[in-house]
Structure 1
C-alpha cells in the first residue's frame, strides 16, 4: 500500500541498567471520534491523523537526545531519513533537548532548520518532542554519549520557581517554525510520569503542572500547529486532554486483544473529549510486542502511528527494538514486509530483498528474549483465582520481597477491573512507584502505597468494570 500523503552516560551507579529494566517490566505489565482530520486556518497546516505513518527517530550516531543535536551529522540524518522514505513513512518523532539549546542557542536552531529541510527533501514532516521525563537522569552536555537515556529538562529545572529560561527555549523553537507547515506538530512532553527518580505525589503534581503550563505556552506562541502529549499509558490521557488537539497513546501490549483494549479505551476518551487519537509509541519485540501484530491492530483501527524505533544504533533500547542498522541492513525482514504490505514468511522464505532492504546475517545486535507473560494471562482468565490472590497479598507480611512479588499481578488485575474509572490510573501509578520507593530508601512510603494498592484492587473486585483490559 502506497504511503498516504498528509493534507496539507556518563557513568551511572552500579546496577542502574538492571533497575531500569525491572522498572520497564512493571511498566509493560502494568502499564467514533469527531473526525480524524484536524483542519487549521490554512490548509497547509491540516493534518490527516489517520494517514500518519511514522517512526520514533534517534540518529544512529547518538545515544541520547543531547548527542542528537550537539553532534548533529547532516549526512547521517539524510541517509537515515532516506531509509524512512523507502519504508513509505511520512513523519518521524524526534526528541529535542534543552541543554543542547542552552549550550549554543543559535547553533541548536540552525541544526533544527537543517533537520526540517532534510526531512522535507524526503517528504517527511517531523513531530518534535519539546520535553521528556524518561527516566529521571538529569541532562548535562557532558552526558551526550551516555549509555543511559537522559530526560529533558531535568527535574531540578521543573522544580525551580523560575521557568523563564525554559520558556525562552520553547519560544525560540516554536516561533522559528510557527509559519512552517513542514513541521507536523509539537509533542509537549514525552511520558511525563516516566521519571523513576521523582515518584512522590508532590513531585508528580509538579511535573503535571509543568506539562500543562507548556501546553498553554505553545498554543499561545503557535496557533497554527497542533499539539499533543505522549502518555506512557492510556489512563493518563485525561491529565492533558483539555489542552491538546490530539490524544496520543503509547502501548507495548504483547497480545492483540490487550492492545485492542488499549485502543478501545483511547477511543473512549476521544469521544469524551471530542479529540482524535494517534499512537506515538509501539513496537518492542524484546519485551514481547511484535511489530506485525501491533500494526495489524493499529491499521485495523485506522490510527496514525509512530513505531519504536527506526534505527538500531547506540540508544539503550537497541536490543529491545529498532528496524534498521546504520548501513541500511535490517535485523528482521518481517516488520519491514508488514510495513510495506509485502508477503513474507520467515519460516519458509529465504531472506529476500524487500524494497532494497536486506537482512543482516551476522554481526548484528540480537533481540532480548521477552519474559514469559503466560502465567499473568492465564490468571486474568480465571476470575475464581482473583479474590484468593488479593486476600493472600493482603495477609502477607509487609516485606520487600512479598510486596515486590505481588505488584505485577495486583497491577494487572486492578487496571483490568478498574478501567475506565480513575482508579485504574491510580493502580498503575502506585505499582510503578512502590519499587522506586524501596530503591530510594523510603520503605515506609512503599508499604503505605502497597496497602493502598491492595485496598483499591480489593474494592474493584466488588464492582468490576473490565471493559478495557490493560495493555502495558
Structure 2
C-alpha cells in the first residue's frame, strides 16, 4: 500500500512538473546576442558526445518502453562523467510521442534524472533528416553486418510530405518542449538535425521527392512552435554543408532559417583542424555562442587530438559523434555503405570513444578529454597537447 501511494504521488508530480507550458498567440523574439552570450557564460565549457546506448540501434530502440534501458544509460553516463563530460546530444522522435506521449515524457524525465546524477545536461534533437526515411515503431531490425549506422531512422521522414500530418508535428513539438520548458536539467533544444541532408545510405529511391521544399516550409514553423512555449533553454539547428556559412555566404533557404532563428549557433565539422578553424571564423561574425554538435571522424582528419584543444582555446563547445561502440556500428566509416566491412574490422575506428565495457579506444584521447574538461574556460593545459 505504501509503495502504491508512492507511485501515485510520483505520477501526480510528473503531471505537474511535465505539463506543457501555455503557448502565447504571438511568438516571442529569439534571444538577443547579449542574452545568448550571457547564457553561455554561465555554462561550463560544453563537452560531450552524441549519445545512443550501446544496445540501441537508433532512437526508437533507445526510447521505446520495451527496450528503454535505464541501468545501461546510468552506467554509460557514469563513464562520460569520469571523462569530465557535461552534455550529451540525444535524439527524440515524433513517432514515440504519437505512440505514447505520457510514457515517452516519463522516460525523458527518467533519463534527465540519470543524466543530472552525472552532472550532464543533454541537448535534445526533435527532428532528423539522416538515413532511413521510413521509420517504423516496434522491434527494430538487427544491424546490417559491416555497415555504419545501418538502422538509424529519420523523423518525420516521408510523413512530412503529407501536410495533414503537420498538426501532429506541431503538437509533438509543443508538448515535448512545453513539458520541459523550464527544466534546468536540459542544456538546449536542437530543432532539426542536418535538415537539408538528402538522407545518406542507400535510401535515395525512398526519399520524398519534395524533401527540400517540405523541410524549408516546416523548419521555421518548428522553431516558432518551440519558441512559443517560452523555453528557458536556447533553440538551435546546426549548419553542416555549404562551403561558406558567413553572413555573405549565399546560404540556401533552410540554412538562412537555421542562422536567423537560432539563439546559439551550432554546426557540424568532420574535417582537419584547419577546416574547423575556417568554419569558426565564418561563424564568428554572427556574435553568438558556438557549439560544434558533430565532429570526430578519425579517418577524415577530425580527431580528439587535433580539434578538441583548438576548440577549447576558441571557446567553441564540442560534441563528438559516438560514445560507446555498439549496435550503431559507427566505428565503421561512411563508405561501408558501398563496401561493408564484413571480413575484417577497420584498424582505425571512425567514430566512438569507448569499448562496450567502458575501456577507451585510445587512452590518450581519454587523457586529452579529461585535461580539457577539468581546466578553466579557454585554457588548454600542456597535458592536452602532449607537452
- Following TM superposition, by how much is the alpha carbon of 1:137 offset from its aligned partner in structure 2, in angstroms? 2.8
- Following TM superposition, by how much is the alpha carbon of 1:202 offset from its aligned partner in structure 2, in angstroms? 4.2
- Distance of 2:46 and 2:34 partners within structure 1: 14
- Following TM superposition, by how much is the alpha carbon of 1:288 offset from its aligned partner in structure 2, in angstroms? 3.1
Matches within 5 A, 1:302-317: 302-317=315-330
For the aligned residues, what is the CA RMSD?
2.6
SS of 2:238's equivalent in the other structure is strand
- Distance of 2:128 and 2:317 partners within structure 1: 21
- Distance of 1:312 and 1:35 partners within structure 2: 39
Matches within 5 A, 1:25-40: 38-39=37-38
Match of 1:58 in 2: 52
Matches within 5 A, 1:287-302: 287-302=300-315
Contact residue 238 and residue 258 of structure 2 kept, 8 A: no
Match of 1:215 in 2: 223
Structure with max Cα Rg: 1
Q: Structure 2 vs 1, CA of residues 146 and 246 (structure 1 numbering), >3 Å: closer, same or farther?
A: farther
SS of 1:280's equivalent in the other structure is strand
Q: Structure 2 vs 1, CA of residues 165 and 36 (structure 1 numbering), >3 Å: closer, same or farther?
A: closer
SS of 2:228's equivalent in the other structure is helix
Match of 2:262 in 1: 244
Q: Cα deviations across residues 114-166 of structure 1 (Å, max 9, x unaligned)?
A: 00011111111111001111024311114634532433323322111121111
- Distance of 2:291 and 2:384 partners within structure 1: 27
SS of 1:323's equivalent in the other structure is coil
Contact residue 36 and residue 48 of structure 1 kept, 8 A: no
Question: Normalised by the size of structure 2, how large is the TM-score?
Answer: 0.72
Query: Are residue 256 (structure 1) and residue 286 (structure 2) matched?
Result: no
Match of 2:107 among 95, 104, 111: 111
Question: Normalised by the size of structure 1, how large is the TM-score?
Answer: 0.60
Contact residue 238 and residue 268 of structure 2 kept, 8 A: yes
More helix by share: 1
Match of 2:23 in 1: none
- Distance of 2:162 and 2:226 partners within structure 1: 20
Match of 1:390 in 2: none
- Distance of 1:345 and 1:282 partners within structure 2: 19
Q: Cα deviations across residues 412-461 of structure 1 (Å, max 9, x unaligned)?
A: xxxxxxxxxxxxxxxxxxxxxxxxxxxxxxxxxxxxxxxxxxxxxxxxxx
Q: Cα deviations across residues 292-315 of structure 1 (Å, max 9, x unaligned)?
A: 101122112111111112211111
Q: Structure 2 vs 1, CA of residues 188 and 344 (structure 1 numbering), >3 Å: closer, same or farther?
A: closer
Query: Are residue 154 (structure 1) and residue 156 (structure 2) matched?
Result: yes
Query: Are residue 180 (structure 1) and residue 198 (structure 2) matched?
Result: no
Contact residue 250 and residue 281 of structure 1 kept, 8 A: yes
Match of 2:123 among 123, 127, 135: 127
Contact residue 64 and residue 145 of structure 1 kept, 8 A: no
Q: How many residues align structurally? A: 304
Contact residue 89 and residue 125 of structure 2 kept, 8 A: yes
State which drifts further: 202-211 or 292-301: 202-211
State which drifts further: 134-143 or 108-117: 134-143
Give the gaps of 5 or more residues in structure 2: 1-31, 144-149, 246-250, 333-349, 372-381
- Distance of 2:277 and 2:139 partners within structure 1: 38
State which drifts further: 149-158 or 327-336: 149-158
Give the gaps of 5 or more residues in structure 1: 1-32, 41-45, 347-472
Q: Cα deviations across residues 381-417 of structure 1 (Å, max 9, x unaligned)?
A: xxxxxxxxxxxxxxxxxxxxxxxxxxxxxxxxxxxxx
